[in-house]
Amino acid sequence: MRQLFPAPGPGDADLAALYAYQPGPWLRGNMVASADGAASLGGVTASLSSEADRQVFMLLRALADVILVGAGTVRAEGYGPARRSRHWPHLRANRPATPRIAVVSARLDLDPESRLFTEAGPDARTIVITSASAPQDLRAGLARHADVITVGEAAIDLKAAVRALADHGHHRMLTEGGPHLLGQLAAAGLLDELCLTIGPLLAGPGADRIVTGHPFPAGPLPFTLAHVLEDSGFLLCRYTRQNPLSRTALAASPAPVRRPGGYARGSRPRSNPAATAAARSLTPSLA
């Protein structure tokens, strides 16, 4: 793997330093795409990836406190708990051995007996983020194996969700999509950074892009290219927001009430009409 931009110094690139988080709450996205913009092949991303992409994938997980992912991606990719890092165990010093998985789901169409819930360690218990309109019986079933965060009334309030994660100490946030969730986070002004691997492959027409859903309310979001790595024809790009908005977005929405020492299971935050209206304007496809 070699660094193309900015011009590297002597020796191999220090990957952990290149991908180090900024101070404070920071939400990073990590996606892979073909040269013509496809975000998956046959509904999954494995055929678009490479050894270098998987190496960075594992590094970003080792750096993160929590991994935010949509329910559709959990089902399509067969998510389980994050695995311990073999290459970067030192990056978990003074933290749990693995980051927590936080699943965003409106309908709670999730299997509480799947390994994502039953195999998660006590210090990496899976989180489920949903709204007050989610079925109460499904919420109760998931709460036996997961910490359930309820944010928003008719729709999930992603600003309040990110605020709740940050308030619980999960400042280094990573989202692995899918495209619906990434689009919603970007539209809400919450995405600070995008790591995008571009593979030397034409997928052809029909595949989704890395973001789907409604147009962004504020128009296109400008990013700055932070670095580019290359390996076997794959380009590993890292972009950061020119004017990160997540600090403003976090401050604009109250956090849900938490029980001492943990998340509030089934708790409901104070009403925020503006945030609720904004959440309803986003695509409700995170099932």
262, pLDDT greater than 70: no
Stretch 175-183: mean pLDDT = 96
Q: From the centroid of its chain, how far is CA 48?
A: 19
Rounded CA-CA distance 54/170 in Å is: 23
Summarize the confidence of residues 195-212 as an average pLDDT. 94
Contact status, residue 66 vs residue 230, Cβ threshold 8 Å: no
Domain assignment of residue 9, yes or no = no
As given in the structure block, the two tokens for residue 170 are: 């999960």
Residue 15 lies in a domain: no
Q: What is this structure's pTM? A: 0.85
Residues 180, 285: contact at Cβ < 8 Å? Answer: yes
DSSP of 229-244: EEETTEEEEEEEESS-
Average pLDDT value for the chain: 86
pLDDT for 10 equals 57
CA–CA gap between residue 251 and residue 24 (Å, rounded): 13
- Establish if 157 belongs to a structural domain: yes
Asked whether residue 22 is domain-assigned, the answer is no
Phi, psi (degrees; rounded to nearest 5) at 73: -70, -40
Split at pLDDT 50, 70, 90, the class of 9 is low
Percent of the chain with pLDDT over 70: 83
Average of per-residue pLDDT across 45-71: 96
Element (H, E) at 223: strand 223-231
Residue 275 located in a structural domain: yes
* Structural domain contains residue 144: yes
**CATH code, domain carrying 121:** 3.40.430.10
Angstrom distances, CA of residue 102 to CA of 12, 78, 81, 140, 243: 34, 14, 10, 17, 26
So what's the pLDDT on residue 24?
A: 87
pLDDT band at 278 (very low <50, low <70, confident <90, very high): very low
Closest CA to 92 of 52, 133, 64, 121: 64
Give how far Cα 172 sits from Cα of 65, 107, 142, Å: 5, 27, 25
**CA–CA separation, 250 and 212 (whole Å):** 23
Token output for 195: 């790591």
- Give the H/E segment covering residue 196: strand 193-199
> What is the rounded CA–CA span in Å between residue 287 and residue 198?
27
User: Is 49 a domain residue?
Assistant: yes
Q: In what order do the strands lie in the sheet with 26-34?
A: 2-5, 223-231, 234-241, 193-199, 26-34, 172-175, 66-70, 100-104, 127-130, 147-150
At 222 the pLDDT is 93
Q: Containing domain of residue 222, as a range?
A: 28-280
> In the chain, how many domains are there?
1
Cα separation, 138 vs 272, in Å, equals: 25
Residue 86 DSSP one-character state:
S
Nearest to 196 by CA among 252, 239, 253, 164: 239
| pLDDT tops 50 at residue 274 | no
Note the Cα 134 to chain centre separation in Å: 21
SS3 letters across 54-67: HHHHHHHHHHCCEE
Whole-angstrom Cα distance, residue 242 to residue 224? 6
The answer as to whether 285 is a domain residue is no
